[in-house]
Amino acid sequence: MLNSAGWIGHNGSLPGYKTVSVYPPAKDTTLFVFINTDIDGQTDLTSALMAPITTLISPDNVYG
């Protein structure tokens, strides 16, 4: 279970894919991010996108 700045959910990856699905319990919002990539290794593209996305949709509760 993932809990990042109040966003609760799950993340994961398989070769070629990275995903995260989270929600803040205090709000009526759910966020799913699916990325198709051929980048291997420790690069976490999903988390890199989460802060900018949540800044737009929930500026008072930014993922991080």
- What's the pLDDT tens digit per position in 45-57? 677 788 899 899 8
In this predicted structure, what is the pLDDT of residue 11? 86
- Residue 40 in this model has a pLDDT that exceeds 80: no
In this predicted structure, what is the pLDDT of residue 12? 84
Handedness of CA 55, 57, 17, 1 (dihedral sign): positive
In sequence order, what DSSP letters do the residues of 50-62 get, joined into one string? HHHHHHHH-TTS-
In this predicted structure, what is the pLDDT of residue 50? 86
- Residue 43 in this model has a pLDDT that exceeds 70: no
